[in-house]
Amino acid sequence: MSDPVFTAKDLTKTYVSGESQVHALRGVNLEISAGEVVVLLGPSGSGKSTLLNIMGGLDHASSGELFFKDLRLTGLDDRGLTSYRRRHVGFVFQFYNLIPSLTAYENVALVTEIADDPMRPEEALALVGLEPRMHHFPAQLSGGEQQRVAIARAIAKRPEVLLCDEPTGALDSRTGVRVIDALMKVNAELGTTTVIITHNAIIQEVAHRVLFFSDGQISKAITNEARRAVAELQW
Amino acid sequence: MRALDIKLLRDLVRLWAQALAIALVVGGGVATLLLAVGSYRSLDETRTAYYERYRFADVFATVRRAPKALLGRIAEIPGVAAVDARIAQFALLETPGLTAPATGVVISLPEIGEPKLNRLYMRAGRTPDPSRDDEVVVNETFAEAHRFTLGSSFAATLNGRRRDLTIVGIALSPEYIYAVGPGDIMPDGHRFGVIWMSERAVASAYDLEDAFSSVSLKLLPGTSEREVMMRLDSLLDRYGGHAAYGRKDQTSHAWLDHELDMLNNMSRTLPPIFLLVSAFLVNLTLSRLVSLEREQIGLVKALGYHNAGIVLHYLKFVGVITAAGIVIGSVIGTWLGSYVTGIFADFFRFPFLLFTKSSDLYVAAAGLSAFAAAIGALRGLREVVNLAPAVAMQPPAPPVFRRTLPLSLSAAGLVSQPMRMMLRNVANHPVRSFLTAFGMSLATAILIVSLFTKGTMEQLVDVTYFLADRQDATVSFFEKRPREVAFQIARLPGVLNAEPYREVQVRIRNGHVERRIMIRARPRGAELNRIIDADLRPVVLPESGLAISDMLAKILKVRVGDTVEVDLLDSERRTVSLPVAALVEDYLGMRGMMDEEALARLLREAPMANGVSVSLDKTRQDEFYAAVKAMPVVSSLALQTASLATFRDAVALLVTTMSSIYTGLAAVIAFGVVYNNARVSLSERARELASLRVLGFTRGEVLGILLFELALLTLIAQPPGWALGYALAWIMKTNLAGELMRVRLVVEPATYVFASAIVITAAVLSALIVRRRVNQLDLVAVLKTRD
């Protein structure tokens, strides 16, 4: 495998919640390689979202180090993190987070306008199979379509990493499969390193690697020797 | 405490800044009402009490010289409750440190006891010893202006004889609440004094033993004032009586009435505007704030609460905010009300002050504010409570947007996506955008209403002092003199130009409407006293016919070319018909103007003069003053510069104070509006904005998207705000126009700029506060929570 995209060393995160301390991450060590698809599984509060947030530059670690390639994310201030997100990271949210006042095309253009080397919005939408509906507003799209627009928006700037937090959480099975399909297609065609949080254990079968979280630590890691095709997924 | 009430408290704590801003808007409206109505009522009641306790007369008349024996017959006029006769004459006063003579009115005091009417309120000292002819009581304004205390002395020329007078008392009188000298419009203690002396002293000085020159009557309730005045006139006629007049034409009362009318009109104009504006804004804001609670309302319903309980919960929420506003407004309004009343009371010289705290006002102000707030909350709740709980707890379907720009423009990439978001947000919520912009227009408008008086007053000063009455001084005589007196005055040192004027009292009438005015006649081509028309150009009077104040024409409902009936009230009483030849643009009092020779023909006399207007060589003023003091025929000297200065002082004190207070309240309301608007927008779009942050937009870019909309609406709101402000100012001006004073509406460009600047400053301040919130947007929460 190629050089790691993410390298985490003894990463911890402690929240102060009222009078008690919550240890969300208790020393995570991890490497994720370029082009890898990693699924994070684990119960609520096990630390997977916290890790994703820190990797995405949305949150700060309490201690330890996290590198994006050579960039030490744990040393960046807010401005630095914003610029890191802007250049390198694509996000896909559980609830799509599209801007209702912008069409599918314009939601994608929102990101391409501030990116250094973006693809054209219609290209990104074509990747997720939504070119025919690109001039529709979110209100005119189904949930699955909205999520695919969100994916198009996330990948349009050709990010090196795509971070997805429960991307199928709000979708039914058939639609969920189409969304996963879109993610895999992007990974295959662009080589985008993709990290997916899910509660849906079935999705793990399409990943290169599955990390199980419990109590703020990676309790188990499985590498899939043979990934399943998306078409075979069903839940 | 019930769980919902705990939620209520926590919500209030969480939203304290917004709640406070809304409360301030409510408070601004309430305070205006309490301030305006409260100060009017207080002054009105104070005046009524003062008049009653000090027996202010109902009817007044002056006469050249009438025997005291006549008093019995005056008392017998049906309806007369009390009669008070005295001597009242003008005198020139010499005061230390001033070269220009001041004007005084010398009034006799009975030797025993108090006057029956128009009694004095002694501030200090005592009344004069009847045996002393040098002891006087003076009015407080005069004493204070000259820093006189008991024992101070000054000189007066009584009937041509110079006397040194010693002050033994300082007093106030219901007759001279507004102590204004002849030819002046504002009380000026430097230039005018009221001097009370023992009757014996005054009678001997003016050769009026056993006679009187002024009589006041108190009437029984229900008596016809007109009837009594006619009878009084017929009794006084043969003794050189001038027509009797009622309180309405008594200078002090009329001015006081005018000022109170102004306050009253202001209280009927400004507070309703402020209160409605604040009600509208509270309504708007609360409705948006409650709409944000959609999810929680769904949840509470799912838990089994009834709609009524939920409605009550939010009514409590707005109730607490409104109550806070009412309390803030009441405290500020009461304080400002007593402050303003104090300023007016001081200006008018009331001996005491009854500050009324009218409970009905508090109830009205509170009621209206609470009603508006409740309607706002219900408007927000209406959509939400009717939803099934499950639906309410779902995120609302993404709002439906339409394109606002042609596709070609979009495709050309001329408009960035953030700009597009902003434009669509505005265009696709037309009602909300309109109401928000309208709210800001209202904020600008109430600022203009508060600020416009300055330009308007300057215009009044310009026209009155620099276009129409351009003399430096006006010399008046005790008795009318042959017109040639003007030559005599012209020869006095320092006089550059002298124009005589003749003034007669008349009643002017059209149908049933009549007014008592002075007709002033001036020589043809007069350069000092000019007649200015509505286009602000000097008018040449026709050889016959009357020019009257535009206001008087409106009251009499006459136009140029119509004929009015005029009762001549001076020496020979006759009624004549005169054509209205021109309308005069003037702002102070109402008057008629005629050509000198035309009036002389009308009066069947050779041209005479009651006084002379002069322009002066400023370097020789003192010589002129000295010469005037030496002229026994001169009853008073009015100085234009002093008059203008007093006018400006009074305007600064009364108008500027009121205007500053209203501007302050309007600014608070403006800030409340803009801040709430920005803050609610932020809440409504927090998620959207946080998403943008996650996508890599910087804080500045995100703030820009939020504030661009605010800025756009603020700017769009300005021109309609100016128009609205002008319209409201016009309503104010029209309501405030009175017979004694009115204005031509002048809203200077600077006023518009200033009003908008305040609103824009409020917007910038709001933006700065909101910026902190944008910086604190929770990026992580966005990933987990739904719309």
Q: Is the pLDDT of residue B358 over 80?
A: no
Tokens of B546: 């009357």
In a domain, A71, yes or no: no
Does residue A135 lie in a domain region? Answer: yes
Average pLDDT for residues B178-198, to the nearest whole number? 88
Whether A85 and chain B come into contact, CB under 8 Å, resolves to yes
CB contacts under 8 A, A 90-109 vs B, are 91, 93-95, 97-103, 106-107, 109
B561 contacts chain A (CB < 8 A):
no
Indicate whether A82 belongs to any domain.
Answer: no
Per-residue pLDDT, B768 = 87
How many Cβ pairs closer than 8 A exist between chain A and B? 104
Kindly report the average pLDDT of chain B as a whole number: 85
The half-sphere exposure of B352 on its side-chain side, counting CA atoms within 13 A, is 13
Question: Distance from B399 to chain A by nearest Cα, in Å?
Answer: 6
Minimal C-alpha gap between B709 and chain A (Å) = 13
Could you tell me the domains of chain B?
1-57+251-394 (no CATH), 58-250 (no CATH), 416-470+640-787 (no CATH), 495-616 (2.40.40)
Task: Check if B516 contacts A (Cβ < 8 Å).
Answer: no
Is the residue at A133 inside a domain? yes
The pLDDT score that the predictor gives to residue B461 is 86
Q: Is the pLDDT of residue A52 over 80?
A: yes
> What amino acid is encoded at B155 in this protein?
A
Name every chain A residue with its beta carbon within 8 A of the beta carbon of B416: 113
Q: Show residues of chain B in contact with A170, CB under 8 Å.
A: 786
Instruction: Report the C-alpha gap between A25 and A34 in whole angstroms.
Output: 24
- Residue among B104, B63, B247 nearest B635 (CA): B104
Q: Check A110 against B425: CB less than 8 A apart.
A: no
| Of B672, B560, B554, B630, the residue nearest B274 (C-alpha) | B672
The distance of Cα B307 from the centroid of its chain, to the nearest Å, equals 49
pLDDT of residue B432: 77
pLDDT digits 0-9 by tens, B622-665: 999 989 888 888 888 888 888 888 888 877 777 788 888 888 88
Measure the CA–CA gap between B186 and B141, rounded to whole angstroms.
12
Interface of A with B in 34-73 (CB under 8 A): 49, 52-53, 56, 58-59
Summarize pLDDT for B45-98 with one digit per residue, the tens. Answer: 999 999 999 999 999 999 989 999 999 999 999 999 999 999 999 999 988 878
pLDDT tens sequence across B544-595? 889 999 899 999 999 999 999 999 887 678 899 999 998 888 888 888 999 9
Residue B397's pLDDT band (cuts 50, 70, 90) = low
B-chain residues near A106 (CB < 8 A): 410, 417, 420
Backbone phi, then psi, for B744, in 5-degree steps?
Answer: -95, 130
B55 φ/ψ sector (left φ>0, alpha ψ -120 to 50, else beta) = left
More confident residue, B308 or B600: B600
Alpha helices (H) along B519-576 = 550-556
Nearest CA in chain B to A106: B417
Is B695–A79 a contact, with Cβ atoms under 8 angstroms apart?
no
Query: Residue B690: pLDDT band by 50, 70, 90 thresholds?
Result: confident
Is pLDDT at A17 greater than 80 in this prediction? no
Q: Which is nearest to B522 in space by CA: B468, B599, B579?
A: B599
CA distance B398 to chain A (A): 5
Tell me which range, A150-159, B195-204, B449-458, B741-750, is most confidently predicted by mean pLDDT.
B195-204
**Yes or no, beta carbons of B691 and A99 under 8 Å apart:** yes
Give the gap in angstroms from C-alpha B776 to the nearest C-alpha of chain A. Answer: 11
DSSP states of B64-113: EEEETTHHHHHHTSTTEEEEEEE-EEEEEEE-TT-SSPEEEEEEEE-SSS
Closest by Cβ to A85, choosing from B694, B783, B786: B694
- Asked if residue A51 is part of any domain, the answer here is yes
Please check whether residue B13 touches A, CB under 8 A: no
Hey, are the CB atoms on A89 and B696 less than 8 Å from each other? yes
What is the distance in angstroms between the Cα of A226 and the nearest Cα belonging to chain B? 31
Picking from A49, A85, A101, the nearest residue to B696 by CB comes out as A85
* Residues of chain B with C-beta less than 8 angstroms from the C-beta of A56: 694
Residues contacting residue B53 through CB under 8 Å, at least 6 positions apart: none
Contact B399 A139 (CB under 8 A): yes
Q: At what angle do helices B307-348 and B657-694 cross, to 10 degrees?
A: 150
Contacts of A138 in chain B (CB under 8 A): 398
The answer to whether residues B160 and B191 touch, using CB atoms and an 8 Å cutoff, is: no
**Which tens digit of pLDDT belongs to each residue from B220-248?**
999 999 999 999 999 998 898 888 999 98
Strand order in the sheet with B59-67: B80-86, B211-219, B59-67, B245-246
CB of A56 closer than 8 Å to CB of B696:
no
Residue A152: CB atoms within 10 Å: 31
Residue B400 touches partner A, C-beta closer than 8 Å: yes
- The residue of chain B nearest to residue A98, with distances taken between CA atoms, is B688
Q: Decide if A7 is inside a domain.
A: no
Q: How far apart are CA B707 and CA B764, in angstroms?
A: 9
Which range marks the domain in which residue A192 is found? 36-57+89-232
What pTM did the predictor assign?
0.75
CB contact B700 to A (< 8 Å)? no
Q: Is any Cβ of chain A less than 8 angstroms from the Cβ of B429? A: no
Q: Do A95 and B395 touch (CB under 8 A)?
A: yes
User: To 10 degrees, the CA torsion angle through B778, B782, B785, B787?
Assistant: 110
Nearest CB among B695, B699, B785 relative to A91 is that of B695
Residues of A in contact with B403 (CB under 8 A): 103
Chain A residues with CB inside 8 Å of B780's CB? 49, 53, 58-59
Rounded to the nearest angstrom, the minimum Cα separation between B16 and chain A is 21
Residue A96 C-alpha, separation from nearest chain B C-alpha, in angstroms: 9
CA distance A93 to chain B (A): 5
- Of A53, A78, A99, nearest to B421 by CB-CB distance is A99
Residue B781 C-alpha, separation from nearest chain A C-alpha, in angstroms: 10
Residue B169's Cβ-side half-sphere holds a number of Cα atoms within 13 Å equal to 21
Contact A137 B410 (CB under 8 A): no
Q: Which of B190-204, B215-229, B335-349 has the lowest mean pLDDT?
A: B335-349
pLDDT band at residue A2 using 50, 70 and 90 as cut-offs: low
Q: Please report the pLDDT score of residue B16 as a whole number.
A: 86
Phi/psi class of residue B97: alpha, beta or left (left: φ > 0; alpha: ψ in -120 to 50)? left
* Cβ neighbours of A103 in B, within 8 Å: 403
B417/A110 Cβ within 8 A: yes
What's the CATH code of the domain at A121?
Answer: 3.40.50.300
Predicted pLDDT of residue B247: 93
pLDDT at residue B39, as a whole number: 85
The pLDDT value given to residue B787 = 42
**CB–CB of A101 and B421 under 8 A?**
yes
CA atoms of B687 and B24, how far apart (whole Å)? 28
* Among B410, B418, B696, beta carbon nearest to A86: B696
A170 touches chain B (CB under 8 A): yes
pLDDT (0 to 100) of residue B409: 54
Query: What total of structural domains would you count in chain A?
Result: 1
Q: Give the dihedral of Cα atoms B567, B572, B574, B578; nearest 10 deg.
A: -60
List C-alpha distances in Å: B727 to A42, B417, B452.
Answer: 67, 39, 11
The answer as to whether A83 is a domain residue is no
Report the sign of the C-alpha dihedral through residues B742, B745, B750, B754, in that order.
positive
Flag if B696 and A87 touch (Cβ within 8 Å): yes
Residue B398 to residue A137, Cβ atoms within 8 A = yes
Q: Which residues of B touch A151 (CB under 8 A)?
A: none
User: In chain A, which residues have their Cβ closer than 8 Å to the Cβ of B428?
Assistant: 101
Q: Do B696 and A58 lie within an 8 Å CB cutoff?
A: no
How many angstroms separate the CA atoms of B734 and B269, rounded? 10
Q: Within a domain: residue A21?
A: no
The residue of chain B with its CA nearest to that of A164 is B783
